[in-house]
Amino acid sequence: MPRRHSEVIKFLRDALAADAVGVPKLDAMGHAAGLLGERQRITQAKLFRRAKRSLGIRSRRDGFGEGGGWSWELPPSSDAPATISATTQAFSTRTRHPSRVGLGSCINSRKAGRAGCSAESNRFALDT
């Protein structure tokens, strides 16, 4: 698995080194390189999503309507994300701002006028 992940990272770095590349073209290139299955799309493959996140690749919409499409581009080297440990990443996706924890329970419950659900917390929750 680590070897395969490094192959995908190298593939994306090489493919996006010069400029942004359209997602359909990246799909075709990934199939040609043997990194995607027959019916697999680059946007759905876990290895590519993980590599995209670790390289800081940005999705960019080009055009509007049927004539538009998506492309991927590498960020400028100064914007590249630092390596984040799995523990830090899991923690950061689960944390909530302390001022918003539990406010919705007062608004959405029948206990809005009872103990534990003050008018102040309801007003704050409605204002945000």
Q: What is the pLDDT of residue 117?
A: 55
Closest residue by Cα to residue 55 from 30, 43, 72: 72
Helix ranges (DSSP H) in 1-128: 2-15, 23-32, 46-55, 86-94, 103-107, 119-127
Given a contact cutoff of 8 angstroms between Cβ atoms, the answer to whether 70 and 27 are in contact is no
DSSP state of 102: T
Q: What is the pLDDT of residue 91?
A: 46
Whole-prediction pTM value?
0.56
Q: Are 109 and 117 in contact (CB under 8 A)?
A: yes
Q: What percent of the chain has pLDDT over 70?
A: 58
Identify the segments of the chain with pLDDT beneath 50: 1, 78, 80, 82, 85, 87-88, 91-93, 95-96, 99-101, 103, 105, 109, 111, 121-128
- The domains of the chain are located at 2-74, 97-127
From the list 107, 54, 104, 102, the residue with the least C-alpha distance to 82 is 54
